[in-house]
A = this chain, B = another copy of it.
Amino acid sequence: MLIRKPAATRKAEIVEAALRLADELGPDRLTTEAIAGAVGLTQPAIFRHFPTKQDLWEAVGARIGELMEERWAAVPADEGRATDRVRALVATQLGLIQATPAIPAILFSRELHVENQGLRRAFLELMSRFHRLIAGLLAQARDDGELCPELDPDDLAALVIGLPPGLAVRWSLSDRGFDLGEEGRRLLELQLRGFTSEATRRSS
């Protein structure tokens, strides 16, 4: 018959289905009916786990944050050159967008901006932390003589973190017609090369 699962498990299933369907249908067209169907439940069952749809969006937002942090954490913190760690961190962002393509649309969706200011601020905080992380690594790279010393690591980091979403626009418009990770890595090389100090460039 029907298998009942503990609430925590179901909640996770629902959030995951919501993320997938938000991509397939668009964040706006995401209905509780569609989610229920994907999970294999009736529509009212969703409301047992999330009293309102906004609660569901909140959980989806939190999940995206978790996914980001998980992937950052998987990048070893203290080995290799600082620039290599920047490469790895950017690669996680590209991989995340590829695995969960609804993310850019959700970041711009008004679920986040009009409906849920708190969540918007949470994402801003997350992005700021990522910014500081990258900026710190770039500062370290600069101190190691890898990067041009007169460039501001904060500004460089802004360019680096803008790269994945900037590329995602073209990826999205092209109907995902190219490999986001591959293209992103190639462009990041170019980006980092522009920051490189002449001494290092000659020596490597």
Contact = CB atoms under 8 A, between A and B. Distances in A.
A172 interface: yes
A187 B158 contact: yes
A167 B173 contact: no
A49 to B, nearest CB: 23
A173 B127 contact: yes
Contacts of A25: 110, 114
Q: Give me the 7 closest cross-chain CB pairs, A-B, nearest first.
A: A194-B194, A26-B110, A162-B166, A28-B28, A166-B166, A105-B108, A165-B169
Given A28-B27, A162-B167, A166-B166, A108 B187 contact: no
Nearest to A131: B170
Interface string A4-33: 000000000000000000001111110000
